[in-house]
């Protein structure tokens, strides 16, 4: 059984378990399915790994015993361990959060793990990403999170990350496309390489992430038609209004909302909802506050705030534009993600989380 077949079988086991347990009157909560390091005698044995045979064997066991199987074995293939979903608001969900080794992404991953989700920490920074996954496991259980190296501009990297997610948990239910970069500058400063870099990560990266997760999500829908899944792009208030001397970032974010609406129309038939969250500024995070590369420093050097001569003056200028007079936090964004996940009658939307700074009209 090759890796692609193993991925498909994991999904079939997980979603068949979810469907059949729900048919018995239980909540629709897909379990965690993984290949253990040591395997004993399987409770459910399948002659091969084909979808129909695996689904039939798991279905027969659940209908007979009225409980989840502990293990499912495939002839000539691996044995899959089945464990019940974690409790919580996101219980039963596997969530991949890109760019979650630090900043907004880390905060979102922490909040989602606390709500019961199994977390895939997807990031280029292996040292920080592995540390975040270890922290989540220490706090929420040894199987609560895994790290996978992910370059959002490289489809092979993302496909491998999705495969790793399914190997760890048996499926993928929520993509939070959070990874992003920003380089400020006006027309007389921005060079082509910098523009391409920002656009590649923020715009193309969202497309590639979505393209990588959709096959697994479609398979999950085919097996369990009542299960809804979510793709949530962490966009920006700069995706709702222009941003002076910041056109590369704003342009990519405007384009991201166009992708969200288009993906939503394409995927709605598969119960995959696609939305964007448009946060205000996370002033406390490294994107803004890094003393060397943060936006406060960049904007001071670029002269984006007329008359400002210090980083603190730049900071106060931006705080004064928010009616609630504070920055947006990872928890603010995660609460919006919770809403979009729980609201089944919402797709193709761009939800502002800006403290009143940007209002829809």
Residues with catalytic roles: 249
Please list, in sequence order, all residues whose beta carbon lies within 8 angstroms of the beta carbon of residue 200, skipping any fewer than 6 positions away: 153
**Alpha-carbon gap, residue 173 to 227, rounded angstroms:** 9
Per the CB < 8 A criterion, the answer to whether 229 and 272 are in contact is yes
**Alpha-carbon gap, residue 333 to 235, rounded angstroms:** 10
Give me the phi and psi of 156, to 5 degrees please: -65, -40
3-state secondary structure 143-205: CCEEEEECCCCCHHHHHHHHHHHHHHHCCCCEEEECCCCCCCCCCCCCCHHHHHHHHHHHHHH
Among 315, 328, 316, CA closest to 354: 328
**Alpha-carbon gap, residue 93 to 26, rounded angstroms:** 16
**Alpha-carbon gap, residue 82 to 264, rounded angstroms:** 32
Structure tokens at 272: 């995959």
* Alpha-carbon dihedral sign for residues 164, 168, 172, 174: negative
Instruction: Catalogue the long-range contacts made by 286-290 (C-beta closer than 8 Å, 24 or more residues apart).
Output: 286/102, 286/103, 287/103, 287/104, 287/182, 288/327
Per the CB < 8 A criterion, the answer to whether 38 and 23 are in contact is no
């Amino acid at each position: 059984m090759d890796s692609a077949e193993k991925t498909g079988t994991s999904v079939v086991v997980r979603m068949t378990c979810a469907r059949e347990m729900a048919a018995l009157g239980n909540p629709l909560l897909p379990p965690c399915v993984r290949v253990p390091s040591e395997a004993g005698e399987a409770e459910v044995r399948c002659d091969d790994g084909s979808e129909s045979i695996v689904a039939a064997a798991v279905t027969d066991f659940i209908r007979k015993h009225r409980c989840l199987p502990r293990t499912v074995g495939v002839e000539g293939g691996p044995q899959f361990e089945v464990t019940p979903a974690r409790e919580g608001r996101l219980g039963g969900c596997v969530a991949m959060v890109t760019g979650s080794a630090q900043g907004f992404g880390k905060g979102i991953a922490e909040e989602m793990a606390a709500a019961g989700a199994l977390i895939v920490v997807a990031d280029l920074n292996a040292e920080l990403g592995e540390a975040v996954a270890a922290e989540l496991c220490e706090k929420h259980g040894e199987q609560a999170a895994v790290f996978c190296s992910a370059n959002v501009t490289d489809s092979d990297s993302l496909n491998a990350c999705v495969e790793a997610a399914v190997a760890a948990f048996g499926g993928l239910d929520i993509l939070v496309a959070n990874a992003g970069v920003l380089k400020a500058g006006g027309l007389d400063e921005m060079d082509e390489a910098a523009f391409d870099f920002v656009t590649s990560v923020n715009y193309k990266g969202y497309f590639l992430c979505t393209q990588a997760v959709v096959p697994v999500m479609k398979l999950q829908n085919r097996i369990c038609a009542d299960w809804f899944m979510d793709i949530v792009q962490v966009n920006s208030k700069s995706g709702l209004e222009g941003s002076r001397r910041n056109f590369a970032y704003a342009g990519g974010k405007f384009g991201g909302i166009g992708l969200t609406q288009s993906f939503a129309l394409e995927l709605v038939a598969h119960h995959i909802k696609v939305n964007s969250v448009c946060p205000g500024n996370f002033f406390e995070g490294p994107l803004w506050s890094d003393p060397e590369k943060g936006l406060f420093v960049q904007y001071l050097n670029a002269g984006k705030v007329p008359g400002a001569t210090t980083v603190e003056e730049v900071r106060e200028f931006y705080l004064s534009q928010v009616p609630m007079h504070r920055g947006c936090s990872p928890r603010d964004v995660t609460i919006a993600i919770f809403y979009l996940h729980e609201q089944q009658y919402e797709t193709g939307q761009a939800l502002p989380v800006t403290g009143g700074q940007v209002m829809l009209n």
